[in-house]
Amino acid sequence: MGHSGRSFINYVMRRFFNFFSLCVLFFCMTSNVMAAKKITIHTEPSNATISIDGAEVGVGSYTVKFGRNVDFYVVKVSAPGYLTKTFRLLKNNPSKTVLYKLSPDEAMQNSRGGDDAGMDMANKWFEVTCGKGVSEDEIWKRLMNVSLNYFDNIEIKDKDAGWIRTGWKTTTFSEQVVRTQLEVRVSFNNSEAPTYKVRLISEIRGIMDGVNSFVKYNRVLNRFTSLIDELQTSIAKGQ
């Protein structure tokens, strides 16, 4: 084979090698694009429920697969006794695993509600019947004394209307704020003895939320759970 023949063969081999290299490179690039991005979620506590875009998908851990046209997922993590949190899991997160930690629900730990026997008292009216032979002045005095045992100030004290409303008592936790208020009103019923309606108003918001973000809370902080019993005991007894 002459020199020109060998040169032609070398030329063809180089072109074929270049073409083959381009094919391999293209295949690798295509494989990377086509392969779904995966990120594994772990939770603390390990019994937390994981929801993706509103659908429950696992408990404790779950591997998320990102499609070509998906840039992020909304992840909600919840567990009994902990504050539910929502996260935005981005596709371009460089980590292959993420750990989502929940904070304890301190407000729940320090309160009682409908799940606790006899403690479904938040934001509900209760009637307290006064003892026989007790003057209106004495009843009013007892109502005021009990109110001030739990609250620092009284916003409304209208003796003629039989109406007491305290100021808010605020309790701050790590990530929550709970405020409580007492309201007492005379009850116009058919009872021979004077009767009053009593309720504990309970509201809650997140620590980072604005002051106008309070919502009704169906639990009463432990520090106030004995208040209604104390009112009943105080004004129900006779002279």
Cβ pair 225, 121 in contact under 8 A: yes
Q: What is the pTM for the complete model shown?
A: 0.77
- Four-way CATH pick for 37-104: 2.60.40.3070, 3.30.365.10, 2.30.110.10, 3.40.50.720: 2.60.40.3070
Of 120, 103, 110, nearest to 206 by C-alpha is: 103
Cβ pair 220, 121 in contact under 8 A: yes
CATH number, span 108-236: 3.30.530
Close Cβ partners of 9 (under 8 Å, ≥ 6 residues apart): 1
Of 58, 66, 59, 57, nearest to 39 by C-alpha is: 66
Domain spans of the chain, in order of start: 37-104, 108-236
**Residue 181 DSSP SS3:** strand
**Residue 82 DSSP SS3:** strand
Q: What is the pLDDT of residue 31?
A: 44
The torsion angle over the Cα atoms of residues 17, 18, 24 and 28, rounded to 10 degrees, is: 160
* pLDDT tens, the chain, 239 aa long: 555 555 645 554 565 555 555 555 554 554 444 456 899 999 999 999 999 999 999 999 999 999 888 999 999 999 999 999 999 999 999 999 999 999 999 999 999 987 775 578 899 999 888 887 888 899 999 999 999 999 999 999 999 999 999 999 999 999 999 999 999 999 887 667 788 999 999 999 999 999 899 999 999 999 999 998 898 888 876 55
